[in-house]
Structures are given as structure tokens and as C-alpha cells.
Amino acid sequence: MNRFGELIRTKREEKEMLLRHLSAELDIDTALLSKIERGEKTAKREYITLLAKIFELDYNQLFSLWLADQIYKLIENEDLALEALKIAKKELKQSVIK
């Protein structure tokens, strides 16, 4: 799962930008951007802000995808992933109350 990278790639291609163009705007290596789009590396938080602006995306939505990718990476190979998600969600809701 790599919803974040896939969205960036889609948007970039829509705008007919090359990796080279976008990576220049982010001030990172083209190879690194390629890896971010394919989910091989994780984008820094500061890039999220920039990317939201460049592609006129809602920051919160983009950030949610990014965060979901992090969660997914943590649990993807675990049998008990769903159970753990359930517990974490429960605890999260508890903590909101407090």
C-alpha cells in the first residue's frame, strides 16, 4: 500500500511534469522522488506541505494518506494486524475522552 506516492505520481503525470521538474521544486534528488512515489522511501513531512500546494490538494487529506501508509507499513505482514488496529482505535478514542 502506497496511497500517498501513487497520488503524487498521478498528479505529477496529470500536470505532465517530469520527476526532474518536481524533484527540483522539492529540492531533492530525482532518484529519491522516484522512490517516494513508488513507496520505497518515505517522504519527509515538509514535503507533504509543499506537495499539497503544488498540486492544490487538501493538506489534511494528503497527510492522512501519508500517515495511513506509515501504519500500513508497520502491520502489513502481521496476522494480527486487524486485531491490533482495533485495540489502537479503542485506546485512541479513550484518550480523546480524557
What does the binding site for DNA look like in residue numbers (CB under 7 A)?
A: 18-20, 28-32, 34-35, 37-38, 40-44
Minimum distance of DNA from residue 14's CB (angstroms): 12
Query: Please, which of residues 34-93 interact with a copy of itself by CB under 8 A?
Result: 60, 63-65, 67-68, 70-72, 74-76, 78-89, 91-93
Q: Identify which of residues 66 and 96 has a Cβ nearer to DNA in the complex.
A: 66
DSSP for residue 43: P
Q: In sequence order, which residues have a C-beta less than 8 Å from that of residue 14 and are 6 or more positions away? A: none
CA dihedral sign of residues 16, 19, 24, 28: positive
DSSP for residue 44: P
Indicate which of DNA, a copy of itself, none lies near residue 77 (CB less than 5 to 8 Å, by partner kind). Answer: none
Long-range contacts of 59-62 (CB under 8 A, 24+ apart): 62/4, 62/7
Minimum distance of a copy of itself from residue 46's CB (angstroms): 16
List the one residue out of 6, 16, 7 whose CA is nearest residue 52.
7
Binding site for a copy of itself (CB under 8 A): 1, 3, 60, 63-65, 67-68, 70-72, 74-76, 78-89, 91-93, 95
